[in-house]
Amino acid sequence: MFGGQPTQVKLTPAIVPRAEHGISRKDISENALKVLYRLHNAGFQAHLVGGCVRDLLLGLHPKDFDVATDAEPEQIKALFRNCRLIGRRFRLAHVVFGREVIEVATFRGHHQSQTDEVDDKLSKHSDEGLILRDNVFGSIEEDAQRRDFTCNAMYYSIADFSVTDFAGGMQALKERKIRLIGDPETRYREDPVRMLRAARFAAKLDMQIAPEAGNIIPELAPLLANIPPARLFEEVLKLFLSGKGLETYHLLQRYGLFGQLFPQLQPMLKVSGSKECQFVEQVLINTDERVNNDQRVTPAFIYAALLWYPVEQRSQQLQAESGLSGQDAFNMAMNDVLHKQLQRIMIPKRFTLPIRDIWMLQHRLSRRFGRRAYQMLEHPKFRAGYDFLLLRAGIEGGELESLANWWTEFQDVDAEQRKGMLDKLQHADGANRSKRRRRPKARKKPQPQ
């Protein structure tokens, strides 16, 4: 049984003095430094920890700075008026400086074994080993043992500016390997999201998942079903909006993780080079380009793309089985696909509404007669729907490509030229209708005498 077993690994910490590492305070957020110094001056230990230390050592610029301390949450809150305590599973302090939030965590201790008496409000595991509650506090050594990957168990001290490397993180960075601290199966069972994090870090840092950490992932991937859907939403954003989405996607497929997140799409991706595979990859290529050029990206567009072909397939199935009209079948398909996806990943309503708009525009953009074309241009989601159409046209070609080219031209020309385009479209449609009406009847063959 995995439930309740403590994670304890013997670590040999190595202290790297300031002169032997490349972290400088000028590369650390001013607000993070404020938090570190106030904790230190109040008599508490104060360290930067985890990804920010790792990234600083690699010469990268961390987006977030996390602090670890021996001060407990209520003590942290007493030091900072701009502090709020959050979380049930992990009790954390958020110190808020405008738009920047410095996350402060108390050193974690070991979980009690099943034979020990423990307050169920502090620590609890599921039968599969998943940590359900985790408010057991301990020392910095115990906290390091509780970290997931060796490259994340490094602590930068504000007291003497040294880095304490508890698990060979420096060596892991040198070897470009993602390694787990402790037994991989136990660590993944404690928190299956670590499998997603392994893939994300490997892609982000241009590293490889060490065989002992990676070989077991396909077997344990189904454990992601035990993760709350609301938590997976944030994790998926980190996977695909990091600027390394395509590389991350390939790793998720390699280790059998993508299908756990998008079970309706995965069966369509079995044939390499299919339109579904091409579409997903092109969406991720475009998203990476936008992220890396500091352009705006929206989760709604990503989710709309990842679920588009399941919606089309379900719509066709409904038409064949129930005889529904194309529009009714499409509306019902949208509901069905979103409902199933929400069981796995809880997409907030502020994104499901734009997703629906993008999908519905794929049908409405083909209806261009009269005032409809002008009304489409005024639609708040026109640009997203048009960009989506361009992506589909680039993969599928044919009539979609003609339609996308028409909308591209219609946006760029002046009012008189737009009127001409619509007149030409109306005339062509009228001619087609007339041909259909005037189609001669097939002549009867003369009967033999």
**Domains of the chain as residue ranges with CATH:** 14-187 (3.30.460.10), 299-429 (1.10.3090.10)
In this structure, are residues 280 and 273 in contact, taking their beta carbons and an 8 Å threshold? no
| Distance in angstroms (rounded) separating the CA atoms of residues 206 and 52 | 16
**What is the token pair recorded at 42?**
């109040």
Note the residue count of the chain: 449
| Distance in angstroms (rounded) separating the CA atoms of residues 309 and 303 | 11
Enzyme catalytic residues: 64, 66, 148
Interval 424-434: pLDDT, tens: 988 876 655 65
| Distance in angstroms (rounded) separating the CA atoms of residues 120 and 123 | 6
DSSP 157: E
- How far CA 435 is from CA of 403, 423, 428, 430, 438, in Å, comes to 22, 18, 11, 9, 5
- How far CA 54 is from CA of 3, 94, 155, 172, 237, in Å, comes to 31, 21, 9, 10, 21
Task: Tell me the CA end-to-end span of the chain in Å, nearest whole number.
Answer: 92
Residue 326: Cβ within 10 Å count: 12
Residue 270, helix vs strand vs coil: coil
pLDDT of residue 446: 54
Beta-carbon contacts of residue 222 (< 8 Å; ≥ 6 apart): 260
| Distance in angstroms (rounded) separating the CA atoms of residues 385 and 381 | 6
- Per-residue pLDDT tens digits of the chain, which is 449 residues long: 344 444 567 888 999 999 999 999 999 999 999 999 999 999 999 999 999 999 999 999 999 999 999 999 999 999 999 999 998 767 899 999 999 999 999 999 876 544 444 444 444 545 554 544 456 889 999 999 999 999 999 999 999 999 999 999 999 999 999 999 999 999 999 999 999 999 999 999 999 999 999 999 999 999 999 999 999 999 999 999 999 999 999 999 999 999 999 999 999 999 999 999 999 999 999 999 999 999 999 999 999 999 999 999 999 999 999 888 989 999 999 999 999 999 999 999 999 999 999 999 999 999 888 889 999 999 999 999 999 999 999 999 999 999 999 999 999 999 999 999 999 988 876 655 655 555 555 555 555 54
Angle between helices 382-396 and 275-292 (to 10 degrees): 130
In this structure, are residues 252 and 221 in contact, taking their beta carbons and an 8 Å threshold? no
